[in-house]
Amino acid sequence: MDDALHRLGLRGETELAWAEHRASGLRLARVAAQHRGGYVLLSSAAQAEPAAEPAIIELRADLSGRLRRAVAIDAAAGPAVGDWVAAEFHGEERPSATMHAVLPRSSKLSRRAVGRDAVEQLVAANVDTVFLVCALDQPHNLRRIERLLTIALESGAAAAIVLTKADLCADPGLARAELAPLCERGAVPLHVVSSVDGRGLEELDIYTSVPRTSALIGASGVGKSTLINRWLGHERQAVSAVRDDGKGRHTTTHRELLVLPQGGLVIDTPGMRELGLWRSEEGLQGAFSDVAPLAEACKFRNCSHAQEPGCAIHAAVATGALPPERAASFIKLQQEQAEFDRARDGQARVRARQADRRSPRALHRAERKS
């Protein structure tokens, strides 16, 4: 395995998928960023002699015509930050590239696109661990954390909760105790850290000291960029001045894959105000491991957990075995997913009818031309 590609997180399953493209002269690269003008890739530099450090190059890239047409049909078919791609390299002094194929993903962090019906927005790909970042200088929103956890676990990656700004909290233990039941139910690690005094950062070394990829998600101002700057050892990610209320302004405007000096890789993401679910069946099973089995035990398979007799969730709430807030959160997310599935199916039917109408027209034009 190429040392530079290994440093970028390449593993065996991706190498196997890459084998069919190698013979055609394409090269393997990983998507580091996406901008309006194109993409930034990271790859291995061709070296005549072995080097002490793996030689990683950065190059601008765009899509091939075939891949561009696929993206026009399905945006999720295009490259996302963290993806491995097969690309054709051009030039030597200032190399660029054309991406021809996106390799299969080991995980896919997605959400429902803001303001659009039934459209998937890829946040990051090939992530090993998703950090749910919350700040201790702000009130906790357990329902939002449950939503974040559902999205993270649905991706296929592992999840961990990171509570930042411990230096600004008089008693971080209270927050830890509040979140402990949630973490225990889903076997999710919980870390309390401070990027200012270094408290708890050593707990994150298991994620950042090996060539595995972590992604940080959370609201604006929770300290994601400050944490990354601490890992990098310099101010790479911009953080605006602290406001009068003591809160920093998060200024990340795009997703970016960064290679950390200690061995890991991390994807920073802009703060997300809206977190619509895309697909969440497995995520709900993981984030609500105490509620999901109850839903399966309901008398009716299509139980909405409202007024139906034999609802196991309401029975558990009535006996005190399940907190009502926890039950309400699960039901809300499940209903949101059901409504979204109906909207997505409806859009699929509309697209199918449009395609059926276009087909006879295309056939008629072809017959006239012949």
Give pLDDT tens digits for 113-136.
Answer: 766 566 778 889 999 999 999 999
Q: At 149, give phi and psi (nearest 5°).
A: -65, -40
Q: Identify the pLDDT of residue 202.
A: 95
108: Cβ–Cβ under 8 A, 6 or more apart, which residues? Answer: 80, 122, 125, 155, 156
Considering the domain architecture, whether residues 181 and 220 belong to the same structural domain is answered as: yes
pLDDT at residue number 357: 58
98 found inside a domain: yes
CA distance 121 to 355: 24
* R_g of the chain, CA atoms, integer Å: 23
Q: Name the residue with tokens 């001045």.
A: 241
Last residue of a domain, one of 102, 129, 153: 102
CATH classification of the domain holding 244: 3.40.50.300
Collect the ranges in the chain with pLDDT lower than 70.
Answer: 1, 46-54, 114-118, 236-253, 271-280, 343-370
Does 116 share its domain with 92?
no
Do 133 and 247 belong together in one domain? Answer: yes
In terms of domains, do 177 and 318 share one? no
Q: How far apart are CA 334 and CA 341, in angstroms?
A: 11
HSE at residue 173, side-chain half, CA atoms within 13 A, is 1
> If you search the block for the tokens 């945006």, which residue do you land on?
75
- What is the pLDDT, as a whole number, of residue 36? 81
- CA gap 261, 53 in Å, rounded: 11
In this structure, are 206 and 67 located in the same domain? no
Q: What is the pLDDT of residue 345?
A: 60
Domain limits at 29? 3-102
Q: Could you read off the pLDDT of 5-28 as tens digits, one per residue?
A: 999 999 889 999 998 898 888 999
Would residue 205 count as lying in a domain?
yes
Q: Which residues, other chains included, contact 166 with Cβ-Cβ below 8 Å and sequence gap of 6+?
A: 136, 172, 192, 193, 194, 197, 199, 200
- For tokens 């990829």, the residue is 213
pLDDT of residue 362: 52
222 and 133, same domain (yes or no):
yes
Nearest C-alpha neighbor of 87 from the set 115, 57, 64? 64
Q: How many CB atoms lie within 10 A of CB 65?
A: 9
In a shared domain, residues 200 and 321: no
171 and 113 belong to one structural domain: yes
Q: Of 314, 289, 311, which Cα lies nearest the Cα of 146?
A: 289
Are 69 and 160 members of one domain?
no
The number of distinct structural domains making up the chain is 3
Q: Tell me the HSE value of 41 on the side-chain side, using a 13 A CA sphere.
A: 30
